[in-house]
Amino acid sequence: MVRSLIGVGVVCLALSLSGCKGDPNTPEYWSKQIDSAKRVKDRVRVVADLRQAPALNASFLPMVHQKLASEKSPEVKAELARLLADQHDPSSVQPLIDALELGETDTAVKTMNKEIAHALAEVGDPKAIPTLVKLMRSKDNYTKIEAINALGKLEAKEAVEPLIALATDDNGEPFISKKAIQALGNIGDPRAVKPLVQMMFKERRGVSFYIESSFSLYQIGAPSVEALVPVMNGDDKELLAWTKEAGILEPAVYAKTAQVLADMHAHAKPAEKALIKQLGYTNGFAEQLLVRRYAALALGRMRSKAAVPVLAKMLDEPEASTRAEYITALVRIGDSSAVPALVKAAQQGSWDARKPAIEGIAMLGGEADIPAMEKLVKDEPTIHAAYCKTDPEYDLCKDVAASAKKQAEEIQTDLKRLVAAKECKKDIACWVKKLDDPDPGVRERAAYEVGRGNDAKFTDVLVKRLSDKNLDTRYAAITAADWLVTDNPEAFKTAKASLAQIQKQLEEEKGKTEFVKVNEDLKRLAVKLAHDKI
């Protein structure tokens, strides 16, 4: 407010010797100030001060609309458009449309058109859609981007075909295509699915469109799964022929498709058989691991019970990061029948390969598995020493005794999760208390247990953990909250009330690299909650 009053004072001083007269709380006062300002920059300054004025409300809009119609300067009209954007009033749509100058060449006019397109998005009235579709043909990329964003925000189905054309234009700017893809996701029309599937694999001038396309497919939901299942099965001959011609390797097609299905786990059940089939993919060592890992990721996220026996038999995989993905999938599925296979895997291979299996036991086991974990603590020096004889160059084999001691301590820490399981068993209220445990591993398991409990009254306690600084714990809380809102309509209603809080967190953490990956899932949860129902 201080800034506004200072601004008014400066304008008054600059405008006339007689000073500012009248009531600054009225439209008439500001109309006179705009008219009295002879220079463009002074009129821009007056409008900018009006934007900040405490008295500004809907009663000022007829005056602002009149100024927009009579003003000749595009710089002033741009500032008036910014003011109208702040007000979000449907009565501004036609005045804003009338102020546009299509076929622009002047930089100031381009800026004005861009601000008008942004204002139309902020007003949010569907009456602006035909005009915004026209603005997508603007020669100015900034105006075009604002129009694209606006059409996505308005969920304008009338814009689907022209947006698809922009998204898939091989001669277009990659950034424009990315914006068009994002708008198609916001609109959510199934007509966009096929081109978006193709854009998942497309690269143009070294730019990939996978991230934007996969998220847009997630937003569209079930129709995307219908298109992706034949791809995962190898039955979409048209797409596979296109990817082959484009030089895209078959394993990359399957891996990317599985990853998108993983993101859409709530809808992805029709893909279960195809994904289990791809757990047996064979076509080159590295390619085999790639496809199997992403298939496991998807099956884990969709909580596929049918995948448990298949994954359990794959835990002899010597490649550590791949074995870890199989175990992560089993943990997300949450079937304790996998524990014996995990105990066996915990004794085979390098520490990097065994550690995920030990953590898997801690995440899935119960009181009956405590002796097996205690034995692993006791046997760690022997197990580690035996492995080091087969791979003496392994980093952790440079000081066998010291490494074994440290590893045994880590197993002892993991044991805390089994102690918590002994105490809580299937008592979800008990696990809720463990969400405040000082040990992040216990908090992580507690979050999964609360999510699997499917009790809507615990929705809020999970939502409060979505900002946990420990990334594993935060991911568990996000995943568990997603399960709860997917499985329980009451939980969905409760979590929906926290949507603004989640969106605020995403905005505050934007650009913080440590949260980028885990917040992708938080972003998907926000998209889910933004819908009226699951």
Q: What are 464-478's pLDDT values in tens digits?
A: 999 999 999 999 999
Of the candidates 327, 324, 314, the one whose C-alpha atom is nearest the C-alpha of residue 351 is: 324
Q: How far apart are CA 467 and CA 475, in angstroms?
A: 9
Question: For position 283, what pLDDT does the model report?
Answer: 86
> Which residue do the tokens 């799964």 mark?
225
Question: For position 223, what pLDDT does the model report?
Answer: 94
Q: What is the mean pLDDT of residues 187-213?
A: 95
**Which residues sit opposite 472 in a β-bridge?**
none
What residue type is 329 in one-letter code? Answer: A
251-276: per-residue pLDDT in tens? Answer: 999 999 999 999 888 778 899 999 99
Q: Is the CA virtual torsion 305, 289, 376, 424 positive or negative?
A: negative
Query: Which residues neighbour 437 within 8 Å (Cβ) at sequence distance 6 or greater?
Result: 420, 443, 446
What angle do helix axes 193-200 and 210-220 make, rounded to 10 degrees?
Answer: 150
For the chain, state the CA radius of gyration.
29
Q: Over 50: is that where the pLDDT of 192 sits? A: yes
Question: For position 20, what pLDDT does the model report?
Answer: 52
Q: Are the CB atoms for 147 and 157 separated by under 8 Å?
A: no
Question: For position 443, what pLDDT does the model report?
Answer: 97
- Average pLDDT of the chain? 93
Q: H helices of 25-173, where?
A: 27-36, 40-52, 61-70, 74-87, 93-99, 107-123, 129-135, 141-153, 160-167
Q: Tokens standing for 402?
A: 């010291």
Could you tell me what percent of the chain has a pLDDT over 70? 96
CA contacts within 13 A on the Cβ side of 178: 12
Maximal CA-CA distance, the chain: 95
Q: Tokens standing for 347?
A: 């004794």
Q: How far apart are CA 214 and CA 216, in angstroms?
A: 5
Q: How far apart are CA 362 and CA 342, in angstroms?
A: 10
Angle at 216 between CA 469 and CA 311, to 5 degrees: 65
Q: In this structure, what DSSP letter does residue 192 have?
A: G
Q: How far apart are CA 357 and CA 439, in angstroms?
A: 19
Question: For position 264, what pLDDT does the model report?
Answer: 86
Q: H helices of 247-369, where?
A: 250-263, 272-278, 285-301, 308-312, 320-333, 339-345, 351-364
323-366: per-residue pLDDT in tens? Answer: 999 999 999 999 999 999 999 999 999 999 999 999 999 999 99
Angle at 478 between CA 477 and CA 481, to 5 degrees: 80
Q: Over 60: is that where the pLDDT of 437 sits? A: yes
Q: What is the mean pLDDT of residues 444-469?
A: 95
> Which residue do the tokens 């997630």 mark?
218
13-67: per-residue pLDDT in tens? Answer: 444 433 456 889 999 999 999 999 999 999 999 999 999 999 999 999 999 999 9
Based on DSSP, count helices (H) and strands (E) in the chain, helices before strands. 31, 2
Q: Over 70: is that where the pLDDT of 4 sits? A: no
Residue 19 phi/psi, 5-degree rounding, is 80, 180
Q: How far apart are CA 458 and CA 262, in angstroms?
A: 25
Q: Over 80: is that where the pLDDT of 104 sits? A: no
Q: Over 70: is that where the pLDDT of 291 sits? A: yes
398-432: per-residue pLDDT in tens? Answer: 999 999 999 999 999 999 999 999 999 999 999 99
Q: Over 90: is that where the pLDDT of 12 sits? A: no
Q: How far apart are CA 187 and CA 176, in angstroms?
A: 17
Of the pLDDT bands very low, low, confident and very high (cuts 50, 70, 90), residue 185 is: very high
Torsion of CA 334, 336, 337, 341, to 10 degrees: 100
pTM summary value = 0.82
